[in-house]
Amino acid sequence: MLEGNLYTAMVTPFTDSGEVNYKKSRELASHLIDEGCDGLVICGTTGEVPTLSHQEKLDLLQNIVDEVGEKAEIIAGTGSYNTEASIELSREAEEIGVDGVMLVVPYYNKPPQAALYQHFKTVAESIELPVMLYNVPGRTSRNMEAKTTIQLAEIDNIVAIKEASGDFDQATEIIARAGDKIDVYSGDDSLTLPLMALGGRGVVSVAGHLVAAEIRDMIDSALANDFNRAAEINKKLFPIFKNMFISTNPIPVKTALNMKGWDLGGFRQPLAELEESKKNLLRNLLENYNLL
């Protein structure tokens, strides 16, 4: 099982020449855990994973496991639209010593629901690790329906889903029918609290890079059934949650971290720097929250 409630999907630092900055990645990982994250998702969308080579993924995972693996859960983003490649990377991540893998709904080729089931079943059965499914139809163009997730929950090591469909009816159906077998995490910071009110477990966060301690407080309050306090924290953080998506993720959050002095480098193409007008908006936001 996965034990955490707050995971941050970590950005990937680059050097000025565009190489993966493993030293900086270790520093950032350690900082995020110290701020209150239970674990990290490495090699996810927020980490610009489509631009990383196979070896870079392995080296990045090894560095993060070496740095914080003894005090946090490390989940490796190993899914793709290639089942065999997903199996290979998942097995290699398991050898490195991660605590779980995250498998995204295959993108671009739009498999039917029965094919989604077979894809995830095949990958999950190839490893011993806990599996977090990742449903994000806004990026993949394919929604994994509740009935498919519920069917997959019968597989022993499929223990969680990052549900980023924004469909609360779908999330409620999963929780109601399979909540004893699969934990549902929000894939959107702004929807974490309402999802937890429905029985969700927590969040795979982007804003955790900036306000992990506050998100931790909100989650802990919700778990203690103090939804009044949780709602106040959520209202306070809502502008941060939303403004991390004024452009394509991870452009805003990585830009914000660089504004804070992290020196994480730029972006690999096809991503690009944030427009100057949006940089000004972001800088004002950070100043308003005393984050600069």
* 100-104 vs 183-186, strand pairing mode: unpaired
Catalytic residue positions?
134, 162
Q: Which residues contact 154 (CB under 8 A, 6 or more apart)?
A: 181
Tell me the H-state helices in 14-145: 22-34, 54-68, 83-96, 113-124, 137-140
H or E segment to which residue 285 belongs: helix 276-288
Give me 210's structure tokens. 């900036």
Q: Name the DSSP class of 108.
A: S
Query: H or E segment at 14?
Result: none
Which tokens in the block code for residue 267?
């972006």
